[in-house]
Structure 1
């Protein structure tokens, strides 16, 4: 009944065609428009999809084909990224601007066409150009195939809780001023839950209410669509049973706090079993930052409300974890394990063809026009990525020369104590470099944080693939000792991984998806500064292992 109600709710946006061999076609039309809003006591126009904030939810089943026609009615260029969707051979639909496509220009349209293969759970979509994803985002819910149950008790209902960030000022003005000055942009003014912050200083706005019935179980689908902040989630008087992250099932475990980095999702079972069923219980979304970095410290709040509870009943409160609660973060991350069952095996690559070591951090490069004559930049392996003027996928497919070079280093050019004393020279190299992978080759990447300017956690997102998080630790990665502690049996499978502050994380995946695939820090400020790179994965043998030709309506630069 919950699924039927959700589909009815979005009939205005979606219509269904006849069944295909591999599933249903699900058609959506996304009109990108400006909408006047008064959230957080400030009236301004924001970019939205179909006038909704957050945007409409896409519902599909595993093996369905999703077709989304996007029409741009605003004065910004736009692209949409279907975050975490594998995009098997359909890189043209992935969405990052100037990586897989040129932007959809004002007054133009583009139809994204992709199939959700081998995935089920919670994902998100968002703008992938400029900082427009501050307001242009929404959920993707992939249900199991018909007749296939969840590998956990079926919930009474499913609820979406999308976490975001809010700026009182125009977001593009914020980032443009930062680029002009060469310094960091202003942090956001509040966090939000389903577009609402709850009461904040000088503004008593109504927050989101999560209604439940005594004795029922609910699947809560959490999405962190924030631009720059990792967050903790708590509900007073209740615990979660985590069952899924990033559209992959995990071994269930109980916790009172969920950690979600930007771009990550978490599915958790909540049992409405509090002894006082007439109560109201505070939901808090608070930032996590265990480095000397300025972040938005305003917690968003909502209320878990039992059916029949009076508005006059005092809300039971809960204190969020301290902002630097690394022990809480580590406890959550270390509890994540793939389900690794007969139906959902963890197929971890055991033999590795490409063993890569990528450092991530910040630096300073000369900027004659900036007030301080230099600017903050970010890098992988000391390369600050420069965005091309032609999409990399088009350049690769049509063999256009001069757009990129294929010499992204497999290791940093200079080895040093990455988490200790830093080099005196904080400059980086700049370029549009890619790393080439043969079809079906196996890849291990160790992502190492550095203390350049300041150590900081980096939620790194890989497009086009899920990967296994086989290890993590503090300090410098030890290539002799640390691999002996890798979990190669049931590591969690993700599409976005948090590299710990002053530490490292190791991932493995199989390059079985031809195309050009972006990898970048999902902190929008770091992506803007250049903490990004791309992989070119070559075709295999035959059409089933090759990138499909580009669609006829692919936008032009």
Structure 2
């Protein structure tokens, strides 16, 4: 089986864009990897508080899935829940077939209760750390997730001793609430905490931060029989690859290991030049692989995860235990009371996480030197009013002041059931879906879905620059966002304070691109709140521009793809848009022929 069609995996690049490295030889056709996933309810106590949650194959988090280059991954999902679901394969591009992207009413209808759905994923030449998660309600995203690992391709890291490791472990960071989801979205009244000021997504903070689905606390009558924090057992003097996955849904989560240095080697499926750090800052949906050498005295060491800017629970703990160390039962069930301290949100090491040019990574396309089209995405949060709701129902097309080359499209309708007192808007509209999946509309009737708002149509083999313009909410609060593009990775080419200036800032980006500077290549980018000067991001003027982030993509993957903020309360309240990408000859996105 050869690589899927489409540059860079098979089609020719445009003039001036050439593959930086030769493709590896095609591998022998292999039988598919088949995984059964059954979603059902069950009593669960990840932090020792018993509540009803979602189990996948009777476990939480879901089982790990491991595949290799050029595998075909088939996942059969059985829905034993009481509502429709869809399963998304986060970071997997699945070239040429967005039908298995797993987004309700964009690529598929939800899987009904009692239903079964088969997803088919072409792994291609991707490698690294990924995850699967339910892309339906917020409650589903809290519980319904698990890791996907694509083993390094043949000889990918050959003769690269800086990346050698003895073994790997997966660590998923997530959050746990003891509050019904219906109450989390009730945001009436004044704000009363720094965390709520910054995120204004949920009305209460999580009770616990989980590492591999575990934490600990004492909760009175609701106590369970939890064994305590996750324990990672390691051998002294060995180097391990720890795959850290951001499963949090409303904030950045830190990751640090007591007394141990960490070297980042992978970011969102991209092998980077090794970078030593004291801690990770992992936004929702982001993934990192770190190398850690177990060179301390034999013993037990704390792994810690906290919310930033915070405050948040202090019980984001796990235990790193050396073989031969005495088992410390008390440490595994220690109760950490109180909250972490407030920490101002600031830009982390993101600009240093560029791909290693020495390593052949055939799934990474070269950075486009020029831009065919620039689209500015202005996002903000608005209080809900009757007038705003009526405006969301208006199907008229406004002149697009954010995209000078096209008119802004109108947003599809939503069946979203979350009762929020606010909405997130992209270019003045909240993203909503309809009752017929967009991909179905394209394939079955040839409908031009770009007549709906916030759906951008592009041809394949084009370079698009998206600029995410952050603005303050109606209350004058500027927050961070975690933008994720389904079916694609992108280069992070620039960021700045205040308002994006197409001439001044655009020229700076072009100059840096022309200089040959390295850029980060990933699929989730943090758009930080960065007003001009040192203004308090909770005391801005409503609508004030407060920072921008630019990414540059190559449209190498035909399909209907969601581009959205990965913070669950943001996308649930409308912060997203769709990119409809196709060739000139196939606007209806015909399914690939089975071989």
Matching residue of 1:160? 170
Does residue 350 of structure 1 match 2:393?
A: no
Secondary structure of the 1:197 match is coil
Matched with 1:336 is 353
> Aligned to 1:518, which of 538, 562, 565?
562
Q: Distance in 1 between matches of 2:228 and 2:48?
A: 11
| C-alpha displacement of 1:364 | 1.8
Alpha-carbon distance, 1:440 to partner:
1.2
- For 2:382 and 2:328, the matched residues in 1 are separated by 53
Bigger mean CA deviation after superposition, 219-228 or 140-149? 140-149
Deviations 1:132-175 (A, max 9, x none): 0110000010012345436543211100000111112343x345
Give the C-alpha shift of residue 376 in structure 1. 0.6
Residue 146 of structure 2 is aligned to residue 138 of structure 1 = yes
1:399, distance to aligned residue in structure 2 (A)? 2.9
Q: CA deviation at 1:478?
A: 2.9
Provide the residue aligned with 2:269 in structure 1: 247
Distance 1:340 1:406 in 2: 41
C-alpha displacement of 1:183? 8.3
Secondary structure in 1 matching 2:571: helix
2:420 and 2:573 in contact (8 A); partners too: no
Among residues 501, 521, 532, which one is paired with 1:493 in the alignment?
521
The change in CA–CA distance for 1:184 and 1:210 in structure 2 (over 3 A counts) is: closer
More strand by share: 1
What CA RMSD, in Å, does the superposition of the two structures yield over aligned residues?
3.2
Q: 1:41 to 1:129 in 2, by over 3 A?
A: same
On the 8 A contact 1:67/1:113 being kept in 2, the answer is: yes
CA shift in 2, pair 1:396/1:524, >3 Å:
same
Query: What is the Cα deviation at residue 222 of structure 1?
Result: 0.3
Q: Report the TM-score, using the length of structure 1 for normalisation.
A: 0.82
Residue in structure 2 matched with residue 465 of structure 1 by the alignment: 488
2:120 is matched with 113
How many Å separate the matches in 1 of 2:439 and 2:313? 39
Cα distance, 1:178 vs. partner? 6.0
Give the match's secondary structure for 2:519. coil
Judged with a 3 Å threshold, the aligned counterparts in structure 2 of structure 1 residues 24 and 190 are, in CA distance, closer, same or farther, namely same
Asked if the contact 2:424–2:574 (Cα under 8 Å) also holds between the matched residues in 1, the reply is yes
1:149 maps to 157
Deviations, residues 479-501 of structure 1 (Å, cap 9, x unaligned)? 33334443534211111100011
CA distance in structure 1 between the partners assigned to 2:374 and 2:129 by the alignment: 30
Equivalent in 415, 422, 433 of residue 376 of structure 1? 422
Asked whether the equivalents of residues 260 and 292 of structure 2 are also in contact (C-alpha less than 8 Å), the reply is yes
Match of 2:260 among 221, 235, 238: 238
Give the aligned partner of residue 449 of structure 1.
470
State the Cα distance separating 1:470 from its structure 2 match.
Answer: 1.1
Distance 1:323 1:257, change over 3 A: farther
User: 177, 184, 194: which is aligned to 2:212?
Assistant: 194
Q: Deviations over 1:32-55 (max 9, x none)?
A: 111221333332221121111000
Q: 1:254 to 1:83 in 2, by over 3 A?
A: same
* Alignment partner, residue 391 of structure 1: 437
Matches within 5 A, 1:209-224: 209-224=231-246
Residues 365 and 245 from structure 1, CA distance in 2 versus in 1: closer, same or farther, beyond 3 angstroms? same
Q: Report the secondary structure of 2:441's partner residue.
A: helix
Match for residue 89 of structure 1?
96
Task: Label 1:387 to 1:312 Cα distance change in 2 as closer, same or farther (>3 A).
Answer: closer
Question: d(CA) in 1 for partners of 2:154 and 2:176?
Answer: 38
How many equivalent residue pairs? 495
Using the alignment, how far apart are the partners of 1:339 and 1:480 within structure 2? 31
| TM-fit CA distance, 1:200 | 6.8
The gaps in structure 2 that reach 5 residues or longer are 1-25, 191-199, 390-418, 531-546
Please tell me whether residue 260 in structure 1 is matched to residue 282 in structure 2. yes
Distance 1:209 1:231, change over 3 A: same
Partner of 1:67: 74
Conservation of the 8 A alpha-carbon contact between 2:306 and 2:312: no
Q: Do the aligned partners of residues 369 and 85 (structure 1) sit closer, same or farther apart at CA in structure 2, a change above 3 Å counting? A: closer
Equivalence for 2:307: 287
Distance in 2 between the 1:288 and 1:25 partners?
41
Q: Please, what TM-score do these two structures have when normalized by structure 2?
A: 0.77
What's the CA shift string for 1:450-483, capped at 9, x where partnerless? 1123100100111111111111222222333334
- Mean CA deviation greater in 534-543 or 445-454: 534-543
CA distance in 1 between partners of 2:147 and 2:217 (Å): 24
Aligned pairs for 1:405-424 (under 5 A) are 405-406=450-451, 408=453
1:221-251 Cα distance to aligned partner (Å, 9 max, x none): 0001111121111111011100001111111
**Distance change in 2, residues 1:300/1:374 (3 Å):** closer
- Find out whether 1:30 has 2:37 as its counterpart: yes
